């Protein structure tokens, strides 16, 4: 499931993505993931990601599946963090208060940051909320998950993370 109710800015991004599809494609499997350090993110502290498997999740406080995904990501963080997984949850909330309330309520053990200006979300071409990117140690996108489908998504992510951690670049 992914969020169908979107604020006006999300519809504008979708419309511009469709209209400009020939100008810029979504970041997909095999592409380099943009630098988190250079993305102008705010509110949180980015973990060290170089040489680690990276899970980047784009979310919003108004998105019910996003809320459902955070406990699963906490379990993945607990299980795989010490083995080389870094998780960064990127909020597209424009209002700081909405971001802060969500983070306070769910208290994730992994990094959360805010992309209030949507610079990273636009550079990536995020198609839906939530969308999760699994990035290998070399910085290449290996898997993209649109939406969050409960335990099925968690099982699939767990298997993919396990495989990426087993790879030695």
Average pLDDT, integer, range 126-154: 96
Beta strands in 76-140 (DSSP E): 85-91, 111-114, 131-135
Q: Output the pLDDT for position 169.
A: 59
Cα–Cα dist 86/61, whole Å? 21
Q: Output the pLDDT for position 19.
A: 40
Closest CA to 129 of 60, 31, 33: 60
Residue 62 per-residue DSSP state: T
| Confidence grade of residue 139 (pLDDT, cut at 50, 70, 90) | very high
* Residue 48 pLDDT greater than 90, yes or no: no
């Amino acid at each position: 499931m992914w969020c169908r109710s979107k604020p006006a800015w999300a519809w504008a991004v979708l419309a511009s993505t469709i209209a400009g599809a020939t100008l810029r494609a979504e970041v997909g499997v095999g592409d380099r993931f943009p630098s988190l350090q250079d993305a102008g993110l705010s509110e949180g502290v980015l973990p060290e990601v170089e040489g680690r498997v990276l899970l980047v999740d784009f979310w919003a406080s108004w998105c019910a599946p996003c809320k459902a995904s955070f406990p699963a990501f906490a379990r993945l963080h607990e299980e795989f963090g010490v083995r080389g997984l870094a998780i960064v949850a990127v909020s597209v909330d424009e209002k700081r208060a909405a971001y802060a309330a969500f983070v306070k309520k769910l208290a994730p053990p992994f990094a959360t940051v805010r992309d209030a200006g949507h610079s990273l979300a636009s550079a990536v071409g995020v198609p839906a909320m939530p969308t999760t990117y699994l990035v290998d140690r070399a910085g290449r996108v290996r898997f993209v998950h649109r939406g969050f489908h409960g335990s099925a998504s968690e099982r699939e992510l767990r298997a993919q993370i396990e495989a990426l951690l087993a790879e030695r670049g």
